[in-house]
Amino acid sequence: MAQRTLKESIPYVGVGLHTGKNVSMRVRPAEENRGIRFVRRDAPVGQGVIPALWHNVIDTRLSTVIGNEYGISVHSVEHLMAALCGCGIDNAVIELDGPEVPIMDGSAEPFVTLIEQAGVVRQSAPRKAIQIHKPVTVSDGDKFAVLMPDRIPRLTVEIDFESSVVGFQRLSLELVNGSFKHDIAPARTFGFMDEVEHLHKMGLARGGSLRNAVVIDGDRVMNEKGLRFHDEFVRHKALDCTGDLYLAGAPIVGHFFGHKPGHTLNNALLQQLFAEEDVWSYVTLDDMDRAPVWRRIAEAKLSSAIELARAWARKVA
Residue ranges that bind Zn ion, judged by CB under 5 A: 189, 240
Of 183 and 240, CB closest to Zn ion: 240
18 is catalytic: no
Q: Which of 79, 236, 259, 263 is catalytic?
A: 263
Distance in angstroms (rounded) separating the CA atoms of residues 264 and 48:
24
* Minimum distance from residue 128 beta carbon to Zn ion (Å): 26
Pick the closer one to Zn ion by CB: 189 or 266. 189
**CA 129 to chain CA mean position, Å:** 16
For Zn ion, give the closer residue by CB, 24 or 60: 60
Minimum distance of Zn ion from residue 117's CB (angstroms): 22
Residue with Cβ nearer Zn ion (30 or 81): 81
Based on CB atoms, which residue is closest to Zn ion, 174 or 240? 240
DSSP letters for 254-265: SEEEEES--HHH
- The least distance separating Zn ion from the CB of residue 236, rounded to whole angstroms, comes to 6
For residues 37-67, one letter each, b for 16 or more C-beta atoms within 10 angstroms of the residue's C-beta and e for the rest, the string is bbbbeebeeeebebebbbebbbebeebbbbb
- How far is Cα 302 from Cα 155, in angstroms, rounded to an integer? 10
**Closest distance to Zn ion from the beta carbon of 260 (Å):** 14
Closest to 74 in 3D by CA, of 92, 109, 50: 50
Whole-number Å distance between alpha carbons of 317 and 308 = 14
The Cα–Cα gap between 211 and 213 comes to 6
The least CB distance from residue 232 to Zn ion, in Å, is: 12
Contact 25, 12 (CB under 8 A): yes
SS3 292: strand
Q: Please give the positions annotated as active site.
A: 263
